[in-house]
Amino acid sequence: MAGGFAKDGAVQDQIDATIEDAVSRARNNLPKGESLRNCRECGAKIPEARREAVPGVRLCVSCQARHDKQQAAVSGYNRRGSKDSQLR
C-alpha cells in the first residue's frame, strides 16, 4: 500500500532502478579487447591464467585490488532520501 502521492510499488521501483544502475555501471567497467601482458599501472607481468580468465585485463592482481577498493569508496546516491527530509 502506497502512502501520500506515491503509487503502489513505488519503493520497489526505486530499488529496481538502483540495482539496474549498479549493474549497468559494472558492465560498463568490464575490460574489453585483448589482455595486456604487463600491468598498465606498475608494469608487472600479468600471469597467463589471469589473462585467460579475464579477457581484456589491464591491471595485475594487486593494482586491480587497489582500484576496486577505491571504487568501493565511491557509492551511488540514495534515490529515496530519508523520511525526515520528506516531512519537512
What would the pLDDT profile of 17-36 be if each residue is shown by its tens digit?
Answer: 999 998 998 888 888 889 99
- Whether the predicted model's global pTM rises above the 0.85 cut: no
- Buried-exposed string 6-30: b where 16+ CB fall within 10 A, e elsewhere: eeeeeeeeeeeeeeeeeeeeeeeee
Domain edges within the chain = 30-73
| Mean pLDDT estimate for the chain | 81
Res. 57: pLDDT tops 60: yes
Backbone angles phi, psi at 84, to 5 degrees: -60, -40
How many C-beta neighbours within 10 Å does residue 43 have? 9
